[in-house]
Structure formats: C-alpha cells, structure tokens
Amino acid sequence: MAAETKYTEDNIRSLDWKEHIRMRPGMYIGKLGDGSSSDDGIYILIKEVLDNSIDEYVMGAGKTVEISVKDTSVTIRDYGRGIPLGKVVDVVSKMNTGGKYDSKAFKKSVGLNGVGTKAVNALSTYFKVQSIRDGQTTTAEFEKGELIAKSELEPSSLRKGTKVTFIPDADIFVKYKYRSEYVIKMIKNYVYLNTGLTIIYNGEKYFSENGLKDLLEENIAKESMLFPIVHLLEEDIEIALTYSKSQYSEEFHSFVNGQHTTQGGTHQVAYREAVVKTIRDYFGKNYDASDVRKSIVTAVSIKVMEPIFESQTKTKLGSTEMGGGLPTVRTFINDFVKRRVDNYLHRNPDVAERIQKKILQAEKERKELSGIRKLAKDRAKKASLHNKKLRDCRVHLGDMKKDNRLDTTLFITEGDSASGSITKSRDVNTQAVFSLKGKPLNSYGLSKKIVYENEEFNLLQSALNIEDGIENIRYNNIVIATDADVDGMHIRLLLITFFLQFFPELIKEGHLYILETPLFRVRDKKQTFYCYSEQERSDALKALRGKPEITRFKGLGEISPDEFVHFIGKDIRLDPVMLDKEMTIEKLLEFYMGKNTPDRQKFIIENLKVELDLAEETM
C-alpha cells in the first residue's frame, strides 16, 4: 500500500505576482512559441506595452509612438501623459494596479485587468521603464520582475511620455526570433483603428487616413473587388465591406476598442447576423445565410465600455452590453447595419444588383454541391478518417480540454516512412499527422466541386473542419512536412495551391507553415549537431574539429523517430507561408500552377539550389 501523502500547513504556499506569471505564462500571454507564429507570446509582450500607448492616444495624449526591435531587445516610446512619477514601480510590478480602473480616465480602454506590463516585466530578463512628466523623470529597472535599480526624480527637458525597454527571457521563449512581418501587421491594425495616429517602427512610418477601408485594401486587390469598398462609421462603430470576385469563403475582421479579436466574439456574431438580415430585408428574400456571406470581405470595429474578454490575450469578446446607456452589442450593431447599409443599397442600386447576382450564383453552386457534399461526407466516414488518414491528438480525442487548441498542430506529410517517423515522434497531446497518398491533384482553376470529389482534399478538409470556413478550424498550426528535394517542393506548391484556391483566409490568418528539417547530422563520439544549412555544417565542423561523421538526410523517412523528436519538439523550426500584398492570390496561382512552366522551374531550382548543391557535395 502506498504511503499516505501528508497534507499540512507546510504544503500551503503563496506565490508572489512574478512567480505566478513565470510558472503559468500561458495564462497571461497565451502560447509561448519561438516567433514563427503571429500569436506567439513574444508578440503579445509587445502588444501589452503598446496597448498602453494606444490608450494614451485614444485619451488625446500623444499622436506618435516609436517602436524599435533590435535582435531580442524591444523599446516602445510614447508621448502620452507619462505614468505618475510616484507610481512607476507599482504600475509595472504590483498586480491589479493601474489607471484604467478609473473609468473616467479610460472609458473605452483595451486593458482593464491591471496585468499587461506586469506580465512583460516578469517574463523578461531585463525590463526598464522611464516616465517623463511635469518637467521631471524617473526610471526603474527589473530582472525577471525583481526590482534592481530605481532612480531618484530628476529634472528633464524631454517630451513627456513613457519609454519601456524589455528583453524576453530566453529560458521561457526558447530560441525566439522576432519577425518584422508580424510586428508590422500588428502595427497596421493599430493605425487602421486609430486614424491620426503615427507609429514609427525601426525608422519607418505607419499611419492611416481611411481606417478600416485601408485595412480591406490591404487584404484584397482592387481588381478582385466586386464593387468599391463600402465604408460607414459613426461614434463607437465602423464597418468596411465588399465581396471578392473569386474567393469562395467569407472573411471577417473584427475589433473591439482597437484590439484585434482574432477569435471573434459577441460583436462578430452580431455583425454576421446583421449583414444577412439587412440584405434579406432589402431584397425581400429569405436567402440562405451562407449564400449571403459567401465571398464577403468585411471588417467591423466597435468601442465598448469596460469590455469583457474571454482570455488575458483579449482575442475573443464576451461582453453582451455596450455600456454607457447604449443597447446591447447585438441591438447596437444590428440597428447601425440595418440603417446605414440599407440606405447605401437604396442609393447605389448597381452595387445591390451585383450583390444579388453573387448571392444567386452562390445559391446555385450550393445546390449543385449539396448532393456531392453528402456523398463526400459519407465517404469520409467510410474511410475511417481518424484511423486511416489521420492520427489525431488527444485535444480532439476528448482526453484534453478544448482550450488547448492554440497549441494544436497538424503535420501534412507524404509517404509511409515519413508519416511513420513523425507519428512515432510527435507529442500525442497536441500534434496530429495527416498522411497523403502520393502527390495531391493540381487544383488550379478548378471549382469547389473538386474538393468533395477528390478523396485526399475531401478528407483533408474534413480533418481540418474548414468546409464552412475557418472559424472552427481544428488545428491552429498546419504544417506541410515534405522532403527537401524537387518532388517535395512540388508537393508543397500543390498543397499551397489548394489552400490559396479554396481557403485563402487560412493563410491570411497565419495558420500555414513549412517544416524545416536538417540537411545534415555532424557528430563525433561526444557531440551531435543537426545542420539546416551549409553555414551550420561549417560551424559544426569547426566546433568538432578532427574527422567527424557527416550524414546527409535525403528524405524525412531517413530520419529515425528517436531523432525526429528533436525537430518537431520545443526546437521545431517553422517557416510561415505568407501572402505578399503586391501579388494577388490570382497572380500567385497563375505563377505557381499556370502555364509558365519555365518560370516555375526556375523558382523551384533557385529555392532548392543550396540543398541540391549540398547533396552533390556529399554524394
């Protein structure tokens, strides 16, 4: 019989604020990550500090914010009112302390829980805050939340405001790297939502004159729009709306008090309902909601008194009330959309006609697909998706909480040996594997019908749960894992083509990645280095000296499960698939999968040149 565990006063301990944050960082900043994903913690750290500067601007204090990111160090300087000089230490190190509890000072603030900068402080190896106001300044410096230095008040001729510098803790954010693309996307969202604000990032200025209209223009090419963007705004609400000529799915962007609510919430649900109801009422037809929303590209931003979010990272709104004597979120949004969009359609009958034609086209396609969809679902069941093609993770098998979804990953791989190695090496809690059978079909120029008729695409769509959009996508990270050779590159392009053609928002929202795997293993009797490039191989040879053993990995299947665990674990290297604003989806598809074979071959050869050269060296 096992010895009884003692439970006495000695078992009870209280963690101080910084210990709790460092022990449970996910509670405060979501998933940690290494910077390869836009929702990784290192970007949340920037956002938490930046939110305070944005709130200053909203309150009419400071029109410029400066951000500098150099390697691992981040500095954010605003020209707001500055933290009250006697409270500089408390504001960044004492939980539930902040100016935003006074609703008169911060009526429609993003951060109301008094945690933000405390989390940044606790999770940084170095954190420095400086406040300048009333002709004086003071600074405080911390290490992992512990105060190490504090200056006395000194006279200052600097412009008032707050300056924060921090370096994320490399023990918590392992091998992290800031990607400018993600920082810039965050900055653009801030300026779209705060016209008149200028953010300077590493010397480059970002500002917006047209708010959400500019945001939509960033996300859809002019030639792809069914009609010019409809841009409507009043106090506490702004919307921008158009339809895509070629995109199959709906695309909604939603914001609350300047916060990008990537997981939606009560406001996004209300807005989706309001658009459908308004268009139905305008035409006097009870169109299917999915037909009305198909191909829509739109954004909504509202301002709420003391918003309630469903997590510390504020990605989903839970509030049902607007506050300040206004009606509920649902009623407020519905009334605005009904009045303003209905008026716009009456004044612009040509736009109304285009929308109706788009709805009728969607209705026709839906009815044509209905029979095929039913057969496809039956085939998916008969194929025993969760046993034959998909090795699922425990989050989706009911063994873990669904709120672990942010950490879930689906590896898409080809070949029994490669999928076998990944399946044996993966973390069964959060990592799943989908096995392709041969090369996927080239879906360029094909209709959505092919997704249901092609077994591979049908099963992949079912595994991801994206048939009706990505709102309930089952995996946060979708990773293409193919060999680093010409065939592997071709499979990547075919899969990217599939997602671009039918689910572009999956790429736009940062869910798709390429798995980087090592090209070489360099080792002696004491040390082993896995090298992802020629430079890393050279560095390894210098470190080991002598005559180490060099192995060239020619395919994923050649890497044993014991070794593979290093490449898909905490040291995983992911290369995000991103869309370039200068190249539309149509142009990308034409380039990758059109008739310009020489251009495409040149692209593949140039992207594989290093790997092919290295392969020849080791043969």
The DSSP output letter for 217 is: H
Are 212-367 and 383-517+555-593 in the same CATH fold?
no
Q: Check residue 580 and give left, alpha or beta (phi > 0: left; psi -120 to 50: alpha).
A: beta
- Token pair 């000695």 is found at 10
Domain residue ranges of the chain, discontinuous segments joined by +: 17-206, 212-367, 383-517+555-593
- The pLDDT score that the predictor gives to residue 585 is 67
Between 15 and 426, name the one with better pLDDT.
426
**Is the per-residue pLDDT at 610 higher than 50?**
no
Q: Please tell me the predicted confidence (pLDDT) of residue 69.
A: 97
What distance lies between CA 589 and its chain's CA centroid? 23
Within 361-481, strands assigned E span 390-391, 409-414, 431-436, 477-481
Q: Identify whether the C-beta of residue 252 lies closer than 8 Å to the C-beta of residue 274.
A: no
CATH class for the region spanning 17-206: alpha beta
Q: How confident is the model at residue 161 (pLDDT cuts 50, 70, 90)?
A: very high
Pairwise CA distance, residues 232 & 212, whole Å: 9
3-class DSSP state for residue 307?
coil
Which pLDDT score is estimated for 175? 87
Q: What whole-number distance in Å separates Cα of residue 215 and Cα of residue 237?
A: 15
Lowest mean pLDDT among 24-33, 369-378, 423-432, 535-544: 369-378
State the Cα–Cα distance between residues 372 and 539, nearest whole angstrom: 55
Query: Among 1-5, 217-221, 446-450, 517-521, whose mean pLDDT is lowest?
Result: 1-5
Structure tokens at 435: 């096995």
Q: Residue 320's pLDDT is what?
A: 83
Percent of the chain scoring above 70 in pLDDT: 84
H-helix or E-strand spanning residue 538: helix 534-544
Per-residue pLDDT band for 120 (boundaries 50, 70, 90) equals very high
- pLDDT of 381: 64
- The arithmetic mean of pLDDT across residues 360-369, rounded, is 90
Element (H, E) at 237: strand 237-243
- 530 vs 106, more confident: 530
User: In angstroms, rounded to a whole number, what is the distance separating the alpha carbons of residues 30 and 123?
Assistant: 13
Percent over 90 (pLDDT), the chain: 45
Mean local confidence (pLDDT), 557-566: 86
Q: Is 273 exposed, middle or buried (0-12, 13-18, 19+ CB in 10 A)?
A: middle
What is the predicted pLDDT for the residue at 107? 55
Rounded mean pLDDT of the chain?
84
> Which of residues 470 and 122 earns the better pLDDT score?
122
**Tens digits of residue pLDDT in 247-301:** 888 889 999 988 888 888 899 999 999 999 999 999 999 999 999 999 999 999 9
DSSP 101: G
Q: Which two tokens stand for residue 204?
A: 């480059």
- CATH topology classification for 383-517+555-593: Rossmann fold (3.40.50)
Write down the pLDDT at residue 137. Answer: 97
Could you tell me the fold of the domain covering 212-367?
Ribosomal Protein S5; domain 2 (3.30.230)
| Structure token pair of residue 350 | 């040509």
Model pLDDT for residues 241-262, shown as the tens digit of each residue: 999 987 888 889 999 988 888 8
Tell me 442's DSSP state: -
pLDDT reported for residue 614: 35
SS3 sequence of 180-192: HHHHHHHHHHHHH
On the question of pLDDT at 511 being above 50, the answer is: yes
Looking at residue 96, its pLDDT comes to 55
How many angstroms separate the CA atoms of 80 and 58, rounded? 10
What is the per-residue pLDDT for 172? Answer: 93
